[in-house]
Amino acid sequence: MYAAVEHGPVLCSDSNILCLSWKGRVPKSEKEKPVCRRRYYEEGWLATGNGRGVVGVTFTSSHCRRDRSTPQRINFNLRGHNSEVVLVRWNEPYQKLATCDADGGIFVWIQYEGRWSVELVNDRGAQVSDFTWSHDGTQALISYRDGFVLVGSVSGQRHWSSEINLESQITCGIWTPDDQQVLFGTADGQVIVMDCHGRMLAHVLLHESDGVLGMSWNYPIFLVEDSSESDTDSDDYAPPQDGPAAYPIPVQNIKPLLTVSFTSGDISLMNNYDDLSPTVIRSGLKEVVAQWCTQGDLLAVAGMERQTQLGELPNGPLLKSAMVKFYNVRGEHIFTLDTLVQRPIISICWGHRDSRLLMASGPALYVVRVEHRVSSLQLLCQQAIASTLREDKDVSKLTLPPRLCSYLSTAFIPTIKPPIPDPNNMRDFVSYPSAGNERLHCTMKRTEDDPEVGGPCYTLYLEYLGGLVPILKGRRVSKLRPEFVIMDPRTDSKPDEVYANSLISTVIDSCNCSDSSDIELSDDWAAKKSPKISRASKSPKLPRISIEARKSPKLPRAAQELSRSPRLPLRKPSVGSPSLTRREFPFEDITQHNYLAQVTSNIWGTKFKIVGLAAFLPTNLGAVIYKTSLLHLQPRQMTIYLPEVRKISMDYINLPVFNPNVFSEDEDDLPGDAIWTD
């Protein structure tokens, strides 16, 4: 077999990712049903729980076809927990998601018409140690650290509960493959067995000095009805690929193995909980996390090496060596994957029919591509060349046949959709539309006012993996009118600064990944009022050029007001469009403040226009007209004018042509197709 970390920028959230869970994408109609079961698992959803109490649901894809359509919304940030989310569990047969927080709150989420809502809530007030769905998805097993266990239905009805009197805590709980018994592991090395009706069956001591960290079976998590078509029926580009062409079929004649992980790093493979001669795996790792793949033939064991750190960043924390070891059903070691991380690996999960292994290490998420068969020479060459190139755009520079170039470019196609914006190309990301039809949902937060820089500041964050990535920053520049200047969030960075995407510390700094970051949303942030600011420091002065403006009665009033407004510099008249001209700025001040655009409005706040300040953007970026009726008897209307901004050469910039009345403060009836009615 072969395994390698996916190439590309490091995936990072704004807080520590504490748990992972993956499920395949379920078609919504008969037309969307896949041809075979393999196509069903080529797309799916990854659920993450982080330290800020936010649950992220992100779309993933393992196929390498760029023309495959994706959902319009590919990321959801589910808020509702009051503390850090420690467990996330998909229920694939019923398409539900269970999440647990550190205070004992349990939410069951369900998606309906593209929206996620809470279906069930359970809050006992005690910490939850484990939450497990039965293999048919009809029952849920909840175990608490204080010894209380509960079994309920998928609809929220309680079947039975019991109080187990123990001197130690319950650390985990699982179902047997036939869902007729439940097993609980304790911190003093015991396994407690109960039947499906709550009757006590056995107490077994497995280890005297080590506690049980987790238990699992080499058995599919859910028993979902499979299709009758062959796994090889697919119209995808079959040769060569990074996943197995025919996925291994689990052998039904072999009895499932019970896998028990201990605090010492040892793992026991047992035929049953009372097996007297188990197979013991000496992993040699600490803080071990183990999980079987769906087919049950490969066990992934992740942990940290029992030695000192291997490296150190120039201005960052120490790098530690994390290892992922793979074992077969006989406990034989097959392959080892080494990677450098800053935090221990907290959670792992398999996805995409065992062709991907997802690992959470602090705020970072690593995607490992797994090849179950003997790796081919072509695959090894692909990984070696991709590690040298580091970017997809460098593939075209190689003198290779088109077929091999296409195969080499598949190594850079990310599994997590959408990929995190590259810090080096952040301006292109916010200035130009994406190639696909996906929607990027954002959150805006008001930061504290700083009298030194001007009025209140607002930061626009992109929702990503349950966290927030800053992409734009705005500041109010007028007290009387709702006028703002939009800038790059990296106001103190240099234009030619290069960020090392291969190092997680740089991504953590860009995302403010510390737990005390001010990204955390509060309930009363919208109600804050900006303090009074002295007139001298209310707004930074934008550069102005003394250009003699042409005075003509034919020009609209908006153009004449611009010549008198101290908020915007004067503009040269254009030959093609006298009302919409491009301004020329000294690039020193524009680069220093990272200004991108400015939003101006009339005194009543009903008409806005967006003016480009950066050299690579057109002067007029759009306008917004807001209309209300007297006493609000008629529905409110909002008309939005947005030109199509394309990334073209600076020598051939075609300015969008607007009706001059769009920017007039006296015109009421304006033509337009984009009207939003409330």
Residues 298-345 have pLDDT tens digits of 999 999 887 644 555 444 556 778 899 999 999 999 999 998 888 899
Q: Residue 633 has what pLDDT?
A: 77
CA distance 595 to 62: 38
Residue, of 449 and 53, whose pLDDT is higher: 53
Q: Can you tell me the mean pLDDT for 229-246? A: 37
On the CB side of 523, CA atoms within 13 Å amount to: 3
Q: What distances in angstroms separate CA 61 from CA 24, 243, 294, 351, 414, one per listed residue? A: 10, 13, 17, 10, 8
User: Are 109 and 80 a contacting pair, CB within 8 Å?
Assistant: no
User: Which of 34-48, 57-71, 363-377 shows the lowest per-residue confidence on average (mean pLDDT)?
Assistant: 34-48
Of the ranges 27-41, 442-456, 643-657, the best mean pLDDT one: 442-456
User: Are 135 and 220 a contacting pair, CB within 8 Å?
Assistant: yes
pLDDT exceeds cutoff 60 at 569 = no
List the structure tokens of 231: 């796994």
User: Are 10 and 40 a contacting pair, CB within 8 Å?
Assistant: no
Q: Which residues contact 429 (CB under 8 A, 6 or more apart)?
A: 421, 422, 471
pLDDT exceeds cutoff 70 at 211 = yes
CA distance 493 to 498: 10
Instruction: Say what percent of the chain tops pLDDT 70.
Output: 69
pLDDT range class, residue 295, cuts 50, 70, 90 = confident
pLDDT range class, residue 514, cuts 50, 70, 90 = very low
pLDDT exceeds cutoff 80 at 4 = yes
CA distance 95 to 374: 35
If DSSP states are collapsed to H, E and C, what string results for 562-590? HHHCCCCCCCCCCCCCCCCCCCCCCHHHH
CA distance 289 to 343: 14
Domain boundaries, the chain: 15-27+37-223+252-304, 476-491+588-664
User: Are 54 and 85 a contacting pair, CB within 8 Å?
Assistant: yes
pLDDT exceeds cutoff 70 at 99 = yes
Q: Residue 511 has what pLDDT?
A: 40
CATH architecture of 15-27+37-223+252-304: 7 Propeller (2.130)
Query: In terms of Cα–Cα distance, which of 432, 434, 458 is closest to 446?
Result: 458
List the structure tokens of 521: 């949303």
pLDDT exceeds cutoff 70 at 402 = yes
Q: Residue 37 has what pLDDT?
A: 53
- Summary mean pLDDT of the chain: 75
pLDDT range class, residue 65, cuts 50, 70, 90 = low
DSSP string covering 312-361, please?
E-TTS-EEEEEEEEEE-TT--EEEEEEEEESS-EEEEEEETTTTEEEEEE
Instruction: Say what percent of the chain tops pLDDT 90.
Output: 37
pLDDT range class, residue 107, cuts 50, 70, 90 = very high
Residue, of 551 and 265, whose pLDDT is higher: 265
Residue, of 39 and 150, whose pLDDT is higher: 150
Q: Which residues of 337-369 are buried (b: 16+ CB within 10 A; e: fewer)?
A: bebbbbbbbbbbbbbbbbbbbbbbbbbbbbbbb
The pTM for the full model equals: 0.76
User: Are 488 and 475 a contacting pair, CB within 8 Å?
Assistant: no
* Burial class of residue 87 in the structure, from the number of CB atoms within 10 Å of its CB (0-12 exposed, 13-18 middle, 19+ buried): buried
